[in-house]
Amino acid sequence: MAKSKALIPSQQSESVWLHRFAVFVAAATVVLISVGAVVTSTKSGDAIPDWPTSYGSLIPSYLAGGVLFEWLHRMIAGVSALLVLILAVWLAVSDTSPYLKSMGVIAVVAVIAQGVLGGLRVLVVSHQQVQTTFLALTNASNAEVIRIAFAVAHATLAQIVLVLTFAIAFLTKPQRTSDYLPLSTSRLKFLSAVMLSLSVLLFVQLLLGAIMRHSEAGLIIPDFPTSFGRLIPPFGNLPFDPDNPQRMSYNEFAFKVAINFAHRLNGLVIGSVILWIFFSLRRQGLNFSPMRRLVAWKLGLVIAQIILGALTVWTRLSVPVTVAHVTVGATLLGLSVVAFCQSFPATTKQAIYA
C-alpha cells in the first residue's frame, strides 16, 4: 500500500497474511527448482515415459530411484502451480494495485506453460507421434535438439515464475519508513538501474547454466579456475578428440566450451557488481539499512556460489553439490529482484502500492 494510505485493522491483517503467503509461494518456487535440479543431475527426466500421468496413473506402482525423483518433481510442481493460482486469485480480490494483479495473472500463465513444456520434453523423447510432429514443425536434425530446447525453455520459465513470486512477495509487504532509502531521486534511479542490470545478469547466468546442464556441457572444460590450463580457452586450437564416445563434432564441442566459459565469465562479472554495490552503499552511509543487509546476504551467497561452481568441476558433477549450486543461484536471482524493487524511488513505490 502507499505510505500515505491508512488501513483499518482488518485490512492490515489481510495485507500481512497476503504477504506471508506470497513469501511461502516464493520459497516453494525455490524448492521446485531444487527438485528439478535433482531430476536433471540424476538423469531422471525420462524415468517416467508418459505425461501428465505416471505409468498410466497418478501414483506409479514402482516408486524408487529415478521414477521417485521425477514423480516427486511432478507432484511438487502441481502443488506449486496451485499455490501460484491461489496467490493470483487472492491478489485479484484484495485491495492491491493493478500492477500486482497483473503480475499474479502472468505468474499463473507462466507456471502453466512451464508444466506443458516439461510434459512435452518427456513426450518428445518417448512418444513417437509427438516426436515426429515436432521434427516436422521445427525441421530439427534430431529429437535430442528439440529435447534440449524444451528443457531449457522449461528451466527459463521456472526462473520467470521465481522472479514474479519474489517480486510479489516484496511488493505485498506493508511498507515501513525504513524501507525508503535516504538518497536523492537521481541516486535511487541509478541504484535501480544497477539492481535491474544485476538481475538481468543473474537471469542470463541461470539460462547459461540450464543450457550447460541439459546439453551435458558442465565438464566440457575439465579444470577450474583455469580453462584447459589457461586463463582463456584456446578457441583457435581446442583439445578436441575426433574419436570421442559422444560422437560430438568440433563445432558442437566449441559451442559447449563457449557456453561453459561464458558461464564462468558472467559469474565473475556478477560477483564484481555485487561487491561494488556493497561498498558503494557503505560510502553513502547506508551501513545499517535493509538494502545493505540484503546486499551483504547476496555477497555471501555469491561467494558460496563460486565455491560450489568450483566443486561441481572438482567433484565431477556431484549431485548434492550441483543441486546446491542451482538452489543458491535461484535464491540469488530472487534476492536481486527484491533489491531492485526495494531501490525504487518513493514516488514509484507509491504508484505501485496504491
Tell me the residue range of the domain where 338 lies. 177-354
Q: Do 254 and 141 sit in the same domain of this protein?
A: no
Q: Do 4 and 134 sit in the same domain of this protein?
A: yes
Q: Do 310 and 186 sit in the same domain of this protein?
A: yes
Among 174, 207, 239, identify where a domain stops. Answer: 174
C-beta separation of 88 from 107 below 8 A: yes
**If pLDDT is split at 50, 70 and 90, which confidence band does 142 have?**
confident
Q: What is the pLDDT of residue 187?
A: 78
Among 120, 146, 174, identify where a domain stops. Answer: 174
**If pLDDT is split at 50, 70 and 90, which confidence band does 350 have?**
low
Instruction: For residue 61, give every residue at least 6 positions away whose Cβ sits within 8 Å of its Cβ, in sequence order, or none.
Output: 55
Q: Do 209 and 330 sit in the same domain of this protein?
A: yes
Span 246-257, average pLDDT: 93
Q: Do 156 and 32 sit in the same domain of this protein?
A: yes
Residue 287 has pLDDT above 80, yes or no: no
Q: What is the pLDDT of residue 180?
A: 58
Among 158, 174, 190, identify where a domain stops. Answer: 174
Q: Do 289 and 226 sit in the same domain of this protein?
A: yes
Q: What is the pLDDT of residue 85?
A: 98
Q: What is the DSSP letter of 227?
A: B
Residue 272's Cβ-count burial label (10 Å; 0-12, 13-18, 19+) is: exposed
Q: What is the pLDDT of residue 7?
A: 47
Instruction: For residue 305, give every residue at least 6 positions away whose Cβ sits within 8 Å of its Cβ, in sequence order, or none.
Output: 267, 325, 328, 329, 332
Span 218-247, average pLDDT: 93
Residue 1 has pLDDT above 70, yes or no: no
Q: What is the pLDDT of residue 2?
A: 40
Q: Do 247 and 313 sit in the same domain of this protein?
A: yes
Span 105-130, average pLDDT: 95
In tens, the pLDDT along 331-340 reads: 999 999 999 9
Q: Do 86 and 58 sit in the same domain of this protein?
A: yes
Q: Do 185 and 85 sit in the same domain of this protein?
A: no
| pLDDT, the chain, mean | 89
Residue 348 has pLDDT above 80, yes or no: no
| Number of structural domains found in the chain | 2
Span 244-258, average pLDDT: 92
Q: Do 45 and 190 sit in the same domain of this protein?
A: no
Q: What is the pLDDT of residue 5?
A: 47
Span 3-26, average pLDDT: 71
Establish whether the linkage from the previous residue to 345 is cis, with ω within 30° of 0. Answer: no
Q: Do 68 and 195 sit in the same domain of this protein?
A: no
In tens, the pLDDT along 156-215 reads: 999 999 999 999 999 898 765 555 566 667 777 888 899 999 999 999 999 999 999 999
Residue 80 has pLDDT above 60, yes or no: yes
Q: Do 123 and 101 sit in the same domain of this protein?
A: yes
